[in-house]
Amino acid sequence: MGLLDWDHNAYYHRLLMRQLPSPCTRVLDVGCGAGAFAAELAKRAGHVDALDRSPVMIQAARQITPANVTCILGDVMRDPLPAEPYDAIVSVTALHHLPLDDALRRLSRALRPGGVLAAVALPRPDLARELPAELLAAAGHRAFGAAFAVFRSSGRGGWYRLGPGHASMPKVLDPPLTTRQVRQHATAALPGARVRRLVFWRYLLLWQRPIEGGLASTGRLSGGERRGRMPAEPPIGAA
Protein backbone atom coordinates (compact mmCIF):
# COMPACT_ATOMS: atom_id res chain seq x y z
CA MET A 1 0.00 0.00 0.00
CA GLY A 2 1.62 3.27 -1.12
CA LEU A 3 1.65 6.57 0.70
CA LEU A 4 -0.58 8.12 -1.95
CA ASP A 5 -3.16 5.31 -1.96
CA TRP A 6 -6.60 6.14 -0.59
CA ASP A 7 -10.02 4.58 -0.24
CA HIS A 8 -12.13 5.21 -3.35
CA ASN A 9 -15.06 3.37 -1.77
CA ALA A 10 -15.15 5.71 1.21
CA TYR A 11 -14.89 8.69 -1.14
CA TYR A 12 -18.26 7.77 -2.66
CA HIS A 13 -20.08 7.28 0.67
CA ARG A 14 -21.36 10.84 0.65
CA LEU A 15 -22.72 10.48 -2.86
CA LEU A 16 -24.72 7.45 -1.74
CA MET A 17 -25.87 9.16 1.47
CA ARG A 18 -27.39 11.91 -0.66
CA GLN A 19 -29.62 9.36 -2.42
CA LEU A 20 -31.38 8.20 0.75
CA PRO A 21 -35.12 8.88 0.63
CA SER A 22 -37.11 10.61 3.30
CA PRO A 23 -38.40 9.05 5.49
CA CYS A 24 -35.56 6.57 5.81
CA THR A 25 -36.29 4.20 8.64
CA ARG A 26 -34.92 0.90 7.34
CA VAL A 27 -31.82 0.51 5.17
CA LEU A 28 -30.05 -2.56 3.84
CA ASP A 29 -26.29 -2.36 3.09
CA VAL A 30 -25.48 -5.20 0.68
CA GLY A 31 -21.92 -6.53 0.95
CA CYS A 32 -21.20 -4.31 3.95
CA GLY A 33 -17.60 -5.50 4.35
CA ALA A 34 -16.01 -4.25 7.56
CA GLY A 35 -19.03 -2.01 8.29
CA ALA A 36 -17.67 1.50 7.73
CA PHE A 37 -20.58 2.63 5.56
CA ALA A 38 -23.18 0.90 7.75
CA ALA A 39 -21.87 2.92 10.70
CA GLU A 40 -22.35 6.13 8.71
CA LEU A 41 -25.83 5.07 7.58
CA ALA A 42 -26.80 4.46 11.19
CA LYS A 43 -26.54 8.21 11.84
CA ARG A 44 -29.23 8.90 9.22
CA ALA A 45 -31.49 5.84 9.34
CA GLY A 46 -33.51 4.39 12.18
CA HIS A 47 -32.20 0.90 11.54
CA VAL A 48 -29.58 -0.60 9.25
CA ASP A 49 -29.22 -4.24 8.25
CA ALA A 50 -25.59 -4.80 7.21
CA LEU A 51 -25.28 -8.00 5.20
CA ASP A 52 -22.16 -9.84 4.06
CA ARG A 53 -21.35 -13.44 3.26
CA SER A 54 -17.83 -13.21 4.68
CA PRO A 55 -17.61 -14.24 8.37
CA VAL A 56 -14.39 -12.21 8.72
CA MET A 57 -16.07 -9.05 7.40
CA ILE A 58 -19.18 -9.48 9.56
CA GLN A 59 -17.01 -10.02 12.62
CA ALA A 60 -15.16 -6.77 11.82
CA ALA A 61 -18.45 -4.92 11.15
CA ARG A 62 -19.81 -5.98 14.55
CA GLN A 63 -16.83 -4.30 16.22
CA ILE A 64 -17.49 -0.83 14.82
CA THR A 65 -21.24 -0.51 14.26
CA PRO A 66 -23.67 1.03 16.78
CA ALA A 67 -26.71 -0.66 18.31
CA ASN A 68 -29.11 0.29 15.49
CA VAL A 69 -27.10 -1.80 13.00
CA THR A 70 -27.77 -5.54 12.71
CA CYS A 71 -24.78 -7.28 11.12
CA ILE A 72 -26.04 -10.32 9.24
CA LEU A 73 -23.89 -13.16 7.95
CA GLY A 74 -25.61 -14.26 4.76
CA ASP A 75 -25.61 -14.46 0.98
CA VAL A 76 -27.88 -11.84 -0.56
CA MET A 77 -28.64 -14.13 -3.51
CA ARG A 78 -29.47 -17.23 -1.50
CA ASP A 79 -30.74 -16.31 1.92
CA PRO A 80 -34.25 -14.90 2.35
CA LEU A 81 -34.44 -11.14 2.76
CA PRO A 82 -36.65 -9.77 5.55
CA ALA A 83 -40.36 -9.55 4.67
CA GLU A 84 -40.63 -5.95 5.89
CA PRO A 85 -39.57 -3.71 2.99
CA TYR A 86 -36.65 -1.30 3.08
CA ASP A 87 -36.74 2.45 2.46
CA ALA A 88 -33.34 2.17 0.81
CA ILE A 89 -30.96 -0.53 -0.31
CA VAL A 90 -27.40 0.62 -0.78
CA SER A 91 -24.22 -1.11 -1.75
CA VAL A 92 -20.57 -0.13 -2.03
CA THR A 93 -18.44 -2.18 -4.44
CA ALA A 94 -20.37 -5.42 -4.11
CA LEU A 95 -22.76 -5.40 -7.07
CA HIS A 96 -20.07 -6.59 -9.50
CA HIS A 97 -19.64 -9.69 -7.28
CA LEU A 98 -23.24 -10.69 -8.08
CA PRO A 99 -25.19 -11.89 -11.14
CA LEU A 100 -26.52 -8.44 -12.01
CA ASP A 101 -29.98 -9.13 -13.46
CA ASP A 102 -31.01 -11.53 -10.72
CA ALA A 103 -29.56 -9.29 -8.02
CA LEU A 104 -31.38 -6.18 -9.26
CA ARG A 105 -34.74 -7.95 -9.47
CA ARG A 106 -34.27 -9.51 -6.08
CA LEU A 107 -33.27 -6.26 -4.40
CA SER A 108 -36.04 -4.27 -6.11
CA ARG A 109 -38.65 -6.56 -4.54
CA ALA A 110 -37.28 -5.79 -1.07
CA LEU A 111 -37.94 -2.02 -1.42
CA ARG A 112 -41.08 -0.17 -0.39
CA PRO A 113 -42.84 1.82 -3.14
CA GLY A 114 -40.81 5.03 -3.44
CA GLY A 115 -37.81 3.29 -1.91
CA VAL A 116 -34.39 3.81 -3.48
CA LEU A 117 -31.73 1.41 -4.70
CA ALA A 118 -28.35 3.16 -4.85
CA ALA A 119 -25.14 1.30 -5.58
CA VAL A 120 -21.55 2.12 -6.43
CA ALA A 121 -19.59 -0.71 -8.02
CA LEU A 122 -16.68 -1.47 -10.33
CA PRO A 123 -17.11 -1.42 -14.11
CA ARG A 124 -14.98 -3.39 -16.53
CA PRO A 125 -12.55 -0.98 -18.23
CA ASP A 126 -13.92 0.37 -21.51
CA LEU A 127 -11.11 2.50 -22.93
CA ALA A 128 -12.89 3.15 -26.22
CA ARG A 129 -15.74 4.93 -24.44
CA GLU A 130 -14.25 6.02 -21.14
CA LEU A 131 -10.71 7.13 -21.94
CA PRO A 132 -11.26 10.68 -20.58
CA ALA A 133 -12.55 9.27 -17.27
CA GLU A 134 -9.62 6.82 -17.09
CA LEU A 135 -7.06 9.59 -17.66
CA LEU A 136 -8.78 11.84 -15.13
CA ALA A 137 -8.86 8.99 -12.62
CA ALA A 138 -5.15 8.21 -13.03
CA ALA A 139 -4.16 11.87 -12.58
CA GLY A 140 -6.76 12.57 -9.88
CA HIS A 141 -5.82 9.49 -7.88
CA ARG A 142 -2.29 10.82 -7.38
CA ALA A 143 -3.23 14.47 -6.95
CA PHE A 144 -5.99 13.71 -4.46
CA GLY A 145 -3.77 11.11 -2.77
CA ALA A 146 -1.07 13.72 -2.21
CA ALA A 147 -3.59 16.24 -0.86
CA PHE A 148 -5.21 13.68 1.45
CA ALA A 149 -1.79 12.58 2.76
CA VAL A 150 -0.96 16.18 3.64
CA PHE A 151 -4.33 16.68 5.38
CA ARG A 152 -3.88 13.41 7.31
CA SER A 153 -0.40 14.38 8.43
CA SER A 154 -1.79 17.65 9.79
CA GLY A 155 -3.94 15.55 12.13
CA ARG A 156 -7.29 16.71 10.78
CA GLY A 157 -9.19 13.49 10.16
CA GLY A 158 -8.64 10.21 8.34
CA TRP A 159 -9.08 11.62 4.81
CA TYR A 160 -9.98 8.33 3.11
CA ARG A 161 -7.17 6.34 4.73
CA LEU A 162 -7.39 2.67 3.71
CA GLY A 163 -8.63 0.73 6.73
CA PRO A 164 -6.71 -2.18 8.30
CA GLY A 165 -9.22 -4.68 6.86
CA HIS A 166 -8.69 -3.50 3.27
CA ALA A 167 -6.12 -6.16 2.39
CA SER A 168 -8.32 -9.04 3.60
CA MET A 169 -11.53 -7.76 2.00
CA PRO A 170 -12.97 -10.13 -0.64
CA LYS A 171 -12.47 -8.41 -4.01
CA VAL A 172 -13.34 -9.03 -7.65
CA LEU A 173 -10.61 -7.30 -9.66
CA ASP A 174 -11.92 -8.38 -13.04
CA PRO A 175 -15.50 -7.08 -13.11
CA PRO A 176 -17.61 -8.71 -15.82
CA LEU A 177 -19.53 -5.72 -17.24
CA THR A 178 -18.63 -2.29 -18.60
CA THR A 179 -20.63 0.75 -17.46
CA ARG A 180 -22.52 0.63 -20.75
CA GLN A 181 -23.38 -3.05 -20.29
CA VAL A 182 -24.46 -2.43 -16.69
CA ARG A 183 -26.76 0.34 -17.99
CA GLN A 184 -28.26 -2.02 -20.58
CA HIS A 185 -28.89 -4.75 -18.01
CA ALA A 186 -30.18 -2.35 -15.38
CA THR A 187 -32.67 -0.55 -17.62
CA ALA A 188 -33.99 -3.92 -18.87
CA ALA A 189 -34.38 -5.33 -15.36
CA LEU A 190 -35.56 -2.11 -13.71
CA PRO A 191 -37.15 0.37 -16.12
CA GLY A 192 -36.15 3.88 -15.12
CA ALA A 193 -32.80 2.81 -13.67
CA ARG A 194 -29.90 5.16 -14.34
CA VAL A 195 -26.24 4.26 -14.49
CA ARG A 196 -23.26 6.50 -14.99
CA ARG A 197 -19.52 6.23 -14.78
CA LEU A 198 -17.88 7.93 -11.80
CA VAL A 199 -14.31 9.12 -12.13
CA PHE A 200 -12.50 6.85 -9.68
CA TRP A 201 -13.10 3.45 -11.32
CA ARG A 202 -16.70 3.11 -10.18
CA TYR A 203 -20.21 3.45 -11.61
CA LEU A 204 -23.31 4.71 -9.86
CA LEU A 205 -26.60 2.85 -10.29
CA LEU A 206 -29.83 4.48 -9.12
CA TRP A 207 -33.41 3.28 -9.20
CA GLN A 208 -36.53 4.32 -7.36
CA ARG A 209 -39.34 1.82 -6.97
CA PRO A 210 -42.45 3.38 -8.52
CA ILE A 211 -45.41 4.19 -6.35
CA GLU A 212 -48.38 2.37 -7.80
CA GLY A 213 -50.77 4.69 -9.64
CA GLY A 214 -48.28 7.55 -9.93
CA LEU A 215 -44.74 8.79 -10.00
CA ALA A 216 -42.50 8.02 -7.08
CA SER A 217 -42.69 11.12 -4.93
CA THR A 218 -41.43 10.28 -1.48
CA GLY A 219 -37.82 9.64 -2.41
CA ARG A 220 -35.14 12.29 -2.40
CA LEU A 221 -34.34 12.04 -6.09
CA SER A 222 -34.68 15.58 -7.42
CA GLY A 223 -36.97 16.49 -10.31
CA GLY A 224 -33.93 16.60 -12.60
CA GLU A 225 -32.80 13.16 -11.44
CA ARG A 226 -36.27 11.68 -12.02
CA ARG A 227 -36.11 13.06 -15.56
CA GLY A 228 -32.88 11.18 -16.09
CA ARG A 229 -30.12 13.57 -15.02
CA MET A 230 -27.63 12.08 -12.61
CA PRO A 231 -26.34 13.80 -9.48
CA ALA A 232 -22.87 15.31 -9.57
CA GLU A 233 -19.95 13.65 -7.84
CA PRO A 234 -19.27 14.97 -4.35
CA PRO A 235 -16.70 17.68 -3.81
CA ILE A 236 -13.68 16.71 -1.77
CA GLY A 237 -14.73 16.86 1.85
CA ALA A 238 -13.57 15.98 5.32
CA ALA A 239 -13.12 12.25 5.80
Judged by the rule CB under 6 A, the positions of this chain that interact with ligand SAM are: 9, 31-33, 36-37, 51-54, 57, 75-77, 92-94, 97-98, 169-171
CB of 9 to ligand SAM, least distance (A): 4
Amino acid at 137: A
C-beta closer to ligand SAM: residue 75 or 101: 75
Using the minimum distance from each CB to ligand SAM, give the nearer residue, 36 or 111. 36
In whole angstroms, the minimum distance from the beta carbon of 129 to ligand SAM comes to 24
197 three-state secondary structure: strand
| Best CA proximity match to 92, nearest among 23, 4, 189, 17 | 17
Min separation Cβ 52 and ligand SAM, Å: 4
Task: Tell me the one-letter amino acid at 74.
Answer: G
Q: Which is nearer to ligand SAM, 120 or 195 (CB)?
A: 120
Q: Are 123 and 178 in contact (CB under 8 A)?
A: yes
In contact, 200 and 137? CB cutoff 8 Å? yes
d(CA 117, CA 71): 19
Identity of the residue, 36 or 45, whose beta carbon is nearer to ligand SAM in the bound complex? 36
Q: How far is the CB of 20 from ligand SAM (least distance, A)?
A: 16
Phi then psi dihedrals of residue 119, to 5 deg:
-140, 140
106 touches 188 (CB < 8 A): no
Nearer of residues 69 and 216 to ligand SAM, judged by Cβ? 69
Tell me how far CA of residue 146 lies from CA of 130, 141, 167, 180, in angstroms: 24, 9, 21, 31
**Rounded least distance, CB 28 to ligand SAM, Å:** 11
